[in-house]
Amino acid sequence: MTDCQQGCAAVFLDRDGTINREVNYLSSPQQLELLPGAIEGLRMLREAGFKLVVVTNQAGVARGYFGEEDVRRIHRRLEGLLSAGGAGVDAFYYCPHHPDGKGDYRKVCPNRKPGTGMFERAAADLGLDLGNSFIVGDNVTDLIPGEQLGCRTVLVRTGYGQSMLDTGALDGSSVSHVAADLLDAANWIVAQHHWM
């Protein structure tokens, strides 16, 4: 990986529907299934020198469907699968809060996408250059932070991505590129990066 003294470029990645198959409230490692091309795409981005950061909303915690330890177990399983393919990520960030959640998890949180909190925390923790970074996701809420942070954004058609396009949910949003999947997104990002 590149030296981050001057700030590293990163690719921020949504989890469900982008790296792994969308499962309604994924709650156990056994449900985890990588999408085709995910390992190849992440490996390509790593080899190009990007830091890879997963940023994911996990409202299932707030709703009481599963706990934070379940999220961590899923992330350990995901990291194991990706690392075995030479595509490990540098960090995982998740937000367990939701305005309609239960107990202490019921709140409007600046970390919950489309809030920018997780991205800003990762930038501070890892020494990232947000202006030279990219965000990849399958939902408009994944991409909105890019407008505020100066990141370029890629919508993948996997997960909810195609329905976002079909329903016009992205109308008025500035999406830099639409890709078939994570591998296609990686090809575009690497090509853009060569011109930066």
Pairing of strands 134-137, 91-95: unpaired
| Adjacent-strand bridge partners of 135 | 12, 153
* CA 104 to chain CA mean position, Å: 25
| Choice among 16, 142, 181, 184 that is catalytic | 16
Radius of gyration of the chain (CA): 16
Alpha helix locations (H) across the chain?
38-47, 59-62, 68-84, 117-126, 140-149, 161-166, 182-194
Question: Are the CB atoms for 171 and 140 separated by under 8 Å?
Answer: no
| Choice among 3, 14, 104, 184 that is catalytic | 14
Longest dimension (CA), the chain: 48
Identify whether 100 is a catalytic site residue.
Answer: no
Give the span between the Cα atoms of 142 and 113, in whole angstroms: 6
Identify whether 142 is a catalytic site residue.
Answer: no
Residue 145 preceded by cis peptide, ω within 30: no
Task: Please identify every residue annotated as catalytic.
Answer: 14, 16
